[in-house]
Structure 1
Amino acid sequence: MAEWRPSCSLAALRKRAELLDRIRRFFAARNVLEVETPLLCRAGVTDPNLRSFTTLLHRPGSTEGQQLYLQTSPEFAMKRLLAAGSGSIYQICKAFRNEESGRYHNPEFTLLEWYRVGFNLAQLIDEIDTLLREICAEELRLESSERHSYRELFYEHVGADPLLASFKQLAECSKLRGLPEAEALCGNDRALWLDLLFSHLVQPHLGRGRITFVYDFPACLPSLARKKPNDPLVVERVEVFLEGLELGNGFHELTDAVEQEERFDRDLAVRRAGGLPVPPKDQRLLGALMNGLPDCSGMALGLDRLLMIVMQADSINDVLAFPMERA
């Protein structure tokens, strides 16, 4: 008979409930509105690195189904609320990413996503820092947080400039640091080079005993962040790390509908070239941006990974009641 018991302990279930309660109290104290948005939508994510789950909607009397996408993040729908005048909002929801499974990944996971109207990236980083310290204060004794630019950390641990280094230089650095296979894997794809070298050579050093923020990411990496003023090679993006784990990803949000559609088109071209499914562009998001998205910054934080750190768990399965293997 298949295993029916939960994979996590009752202590983990209780700790999850405490964590959610603390998060809600944190945002209530700041008058940030909790919202819900659909998990099933007509458009899927265009990011070439993400894979959406799909399903078919069958309406009464219809012989053909309409393809729908389980959302990898509530971002697009939440931005539609922002454009409609919601003010600052947050959401705790399930998100879904196909082809993601392992020690730190479950295809279905819990996400905290929030948007602060009028916040720049520095203000968002301050709030992320405050949130993590407040909701984990009982369990974690953290030193003061640290903040580094992506370029600074990449150069320190890889030995090359991520924005300007040639592919030959990146290949030489990867060989010197024990990754001789990187050249065959990455070829002339700068985004792939940066993702591989950062994940293998930089990320393991981050967040040891303290929260680490990495900001100003290369513009060649997929994101919905706005470009940094006077530096088109960089976007206003931040990632937060704790104990070598990436917990979340935040942006000073792109508000330009024309540029957003251009980025969608570039993503879709990459997907076509790679033989990947090509979802429709989210026209409702583009319509919201055309109407006017307020200046804002937003953050998506993985709560299962945060709970792993709080519980000192070795696997995400240790903090989920029913991971995919037991669903």
Structure 2
Amino acid sequence: MNDWRPSASGATLARRARLLGDIRAFMAERGVLEVNTPLLASAAPAERGLASMQVDDGGYLVPSPEHGLKRLLAAGMGPIYQLGPVFRAGEAGRWHNPEFWMLEWYRPEASMADLVAETGALIETVAGVRCMQRCEYRVVFEAVTGLDPIACDTTALADWARQQRLAPVEAAADHDRAFWLDLIMSLAVQPTLGEHGPQCVIDFPAEDAVLVATDAERPGVARRFEWFWQGVELANGAQELTDADIARERMQREQRLRREAGAVETALDERLLGAMAAGLPPSAGVALGVDRLLALICGFASIGEALAFDWPRR
């Protein structure tokens, strides 16, 4: 069937326009400057979990404006944000669309706690809801699994996941801790979060941290946070890593893991590493999925209804 019609109603598109206006008003009131970095970049992020779309003449459609925004921070910009489309390969489903809108912003000299609070204020302002009290990753993970996600070993995580039928018994034994933590978090823990309002989870395990600072006083903990609402991830933020040498080492680790998994290995973003070496200021930042937020505000069961044309109708 040649269905040319939009997936969103006129009322939804009007609500979307109001949401975008409310976001921009919030940022303007707080002195955060809107900027636009390229959507087509010469290098892709190294993170193992990000599949970037490559274009025919070289380069990648950005899965996040993070690298461009951090280059601006290193050049001396103050608080900045970008609001617009980003792209990720292979992400189509109930709460995923390969092309979606992201709000991402950074504050130099800010702490993770500052951005947690500001993200909560933004959500409350534009969605008209009351956010729940933040909690630690370790606490919510233990409440569901009985396992300490910072201290337990890979075998314990894998055994629990298999017992709960989150993974087949024959699932590869060579998966690392990051794989099992992510699997359990997404399938068992995340659905329990944000039932009574948006909820922030802080201090994630450090296994897959790439451009995220780790806690100097608590080994194994990354200064990262995520916001959830009705079991859906809304935002992902962190205290940002500023050390270019550590960033290079972690990017190379991610490349190796990509190679071992048979995934496409991407070149390091030397421009980002150069910016970090020149002096990326201490900063905190966060990225928020605008389409998901709109869908939850409107009470939709999936992201498609919040888009003018969802993936099947593109």
Q: What band does the TM-score fall into relative to the shorter chain?
A: over 0.9
> How many Å apart are 1:152 and its aligned residue?
1.4
Please say if 1:266 is aligned against 2:233: no
Q: Which residue of structure 1 lines up, in the alignment, with residue 187 of structure 2? A: 200
Q: Which residue of structure 2 lines up, in the alignment, with residue 124 of structure 1? A: 115
Contact 2:210 2:247 in 1 (8 A): no
Q: Report the AA paired with residue 27 of structure 2.
A: F
The CA deviation string for residues 226-274 of structure 1, in whole angstroms up to 9 with x for no partner, is: 0112223111000000111000100100000100111110000111111
Quote the Cα distance in structure 1 between the aligned partners of 2:308 and 2:260. Answer: 39
Quote the Cα distance in structure 2 between the aligned partners of 1:226 and 1:7. Answer: 40
Q: Which residue of structure 2 lines up, in the alignment, with residue 20 of structure 1? A: 20
Q: Which residue of structure 1 lines up, in the alignment, with residue 85 of structure 2? A: 94
> How many Å apart are 1:129 and its aligned residue?
0.7
Q: Which residue of structure 2 lines up, in the alignment, with residue 213 of structure 1? A: 200
SS at structure 1 position matched to 2:171: helix
Quote the Cα distance in structure 1 between the aligned partners of 2:115 and 2:48. Answer: 26
After the TM superposition, which residues 99-114 of structure 1 pair with which residues of structure 2 at under 5 Å, given as runs? 99-114=90-105
Quote the Cα distance in structure 1 between the aligned partners of 2:99 and 2:85. Answer: 7
After the TM superposition, which residues 36-115 of structure 1 pair with which residues of structure 2 at under 5 Å, given as runs? 36-57=36-57, 67-115=58-106
Q: Which residue of structure 2 lines up, in the alignment, with residue 5 of structure 1? A: 5
Q: Report the AA paired with residue 311 of structure 2.
A: M
SS at structure 1 position matched to 2:285: strand
Q: Report the AA paired with residue 185 of structure 2.
A: F
TM-score between the two structures when normalised by the length of structure 2: 0.96
SS at structure 2 position matched to 1:92: strand
Which is further off, 158-167 or 12-21?
Answer: 158-167
Quote the Cα distance in structure 2 between the aligned partners of 1:274 and 1:132. Answer: 37
Contact 2:37 2:69 in 1 (8 A): yes
TM-score between the two structures when normalised by the length of structure 1: 0.92
Quote the Cα distance in structure 2 between the aligned partners of 1:198 and 1:301. Answer: 19
> How many Å apart are 1:175 and its aligned residue?
4.5
Contact 1:158 1:174 in 2 (8 A): no
The CA deviation string for residues 127-147 of structure 1, in whole angstroms up to 9 with x for no partner, is: 01111001111xx4x3x5221
Give the 3 Å change call, closer, same or farther, for CA 243–28 of structure 1 in structure 2. same
**Structure 2 gap ranges (5+):** none
- In our comparison, the structure showing a higher alpha carbon Rg is 1
Quote the Cα distance in structure 2 between the aligned partners of 1:20 and 1:216. Answer: 29
**Structure 1 gap ranges (5+):** 58-66
Tell me the number of residue pairs that the alignment of Structure 1 and Structure 2 aligns. 314
How much identity, in percent, do the aligned residues show?
44
> How many Å apart are 1:176 and its aligned residue?
4.6
